[in-house]
């Protein structure tokens, strides 16, 4: 059934690739955000991150002179935390140490769940085996997202996906994925705005994660031709190191 589109009340905006690319602002993005702010719509910033806490993101955005407050940011780590709270589980946090502030106050002793993000420092046999055993005991596997790989300054690098898949394979279970493009991610991001998906639009640079995900959740999706879009459209225009 086609959703009936209503007046636009909320705008979800992606961060990396849309407002900024690593430590540089996308030209014109601050100005565009100001114009958006001068209208009456509610703005939320949504991003897939497995290692940057909200505080880290906020500091970077402040440096780039974006006017954004902490409660406007919704990340895949936020989504993982709310799922942990909903399920009332004590997770083994297989995440980068920099992500830990976003789980402050969550009980982690005697774990009965596994939360997994990109954690290169922790992805070794012993910790993965510990997670494996918890899963065998029936602990749910919560994945921040399942990206296969990502682009780093020194070239492509393994994402969290292959490690999530290894645990799924070993235990014959499926992870609950919480980041974009999951439908629940977009609905969670809208929660508290009082808006329905039909009243919201998502702006991002990723055709699948931003636009496809939002459309699947009943929102409009707008693709900006910056960041990842350029990487997909013109892969040969980018050198192998950095982008």
Lookup: tokens for 84 = 């942990």
Min CB(127)–Mg ion separation in Å:
29
Q: What share of the chain is helix, strand, coil (3-state, %, to 5)?
A: 40, 20, 40
Based on CB atoms, which residue is closest to Mg ion, 47 or 53?
47
Based on CB atoms, which residue is closest to Mg ion, 170 or 230?
230
What would the x/- binding string for Mg ion be over residues 176 to 205, using CB under 5 A?
-----------------------------x
DSSP 17: T
Based on CB atoms, which residue is closest to Mg ion, 17 or 179?
17
Helix or strand (DSSP H, E) at 137 = none
DSSP 38: T
Lookup: tokens for 187 = 């609905």
The count of chain residues that interact with Mg ion, using the rule CB under 5 A, is 5
Min CB(232)–Mg ion separation in Å:
11
Based on CB atoms, which residue is closest to Mg ion, 17 or 197?
17
Quick one: which of 126, 124, 168, 125 has its CA closest to 143? 168
CA gap 123, 4 in Å, rounded: 46
Q: What residues contact 208, with CB distance under 8 A and at least 6 apart? A: 181
CA gap 110, 120 in Å, rounded: 23
Q: Which residue number has the CB closest to Mg ion?
A: 17
Among 11, 14, 81, 95, binds Mg ion (CB under 5 A): 14
Min CB(54)–Mg ion separation in Å:
17
Of 8-16, 29-37, 137-145, 182-190, which part binds Mg ion (CB under 5 A)? 8-16
Q: Which residue has the tokens 């439908």?
A: 183
Based on CB atoms, which residue is closest to Mg ion, 90 or 151?
151
DSSP 71: G
Based on CB atoms, which residue is closest to Mg ion, 37 or 150?
150
CA gap 72, 91 in Å, rounded: 25
User: Is there a cis peptide before residue 181, judged by omega within 30 degrees of 0?
Assistant: yes
Contact call for residue 16 and Mg ion (CB under 5 A): yes
In sequence order, what are the beta bridge partners of 53?
none
Min CB(205)–Mg ion separation in Å:
4
Min CB(229)–Mg ion separation in Å:
9
Min CB(243)–Mg ion separation in Å:
12
Q: Which residues of the shown chain bind Mg ion in the complex (CB under 5 A)?
A: 14, 16-17, 205-206
């Amino acid at each position: 059934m086609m959703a009936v589109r209503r007046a636009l009340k909320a705008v979800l905006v992606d961060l990396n690739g849309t407002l900024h690319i690593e430590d540089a602002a996308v030209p014109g993005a601050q100005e565009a955000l100001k114009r958006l702010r001068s209208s009456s719509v509610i703005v939320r910033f949504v991003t897939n991150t497995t290692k940057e806490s909200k505080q880290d993101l906020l500091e970077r955005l402040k440096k780039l002179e974006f006017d954004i407050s902490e409660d406007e940011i919704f990340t895949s780590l936020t989504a993982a935390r709310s799922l942990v709270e909903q399920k009332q589980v004590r997770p083994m946090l297989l995440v980068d140490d920099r992500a830990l502030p976003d789980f402050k106050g969550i009980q982690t002793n005697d774990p009965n769940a596994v939360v997994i993000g990109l954690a290169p420092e922790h992805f070794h046999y012993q910790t993965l085996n510990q997670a494996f055993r918890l899963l065998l005991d029936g602990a749910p596997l919560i994945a921040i997202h399942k990206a296969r790989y990502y682009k780093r300054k020194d070239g492509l690098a393994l994402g969290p996906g292959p490690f999530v898949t290894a645990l799924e394979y070993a235990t014959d279970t499926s992870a609950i994925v919480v980041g974009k493009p999951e439908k629940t991610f977009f609905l969670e991001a809208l929660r508290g705005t009082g808006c329905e998906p039909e009243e919201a639009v998502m702006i991002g640079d990723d055709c699948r994660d931003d636009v496809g995900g939002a459309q699947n959740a009943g929102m409009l999706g707008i693709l900006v031709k910056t960041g990842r879009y350029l990487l997909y459209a013109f892969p040969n225009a980018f050198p192998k190191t950095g982008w």
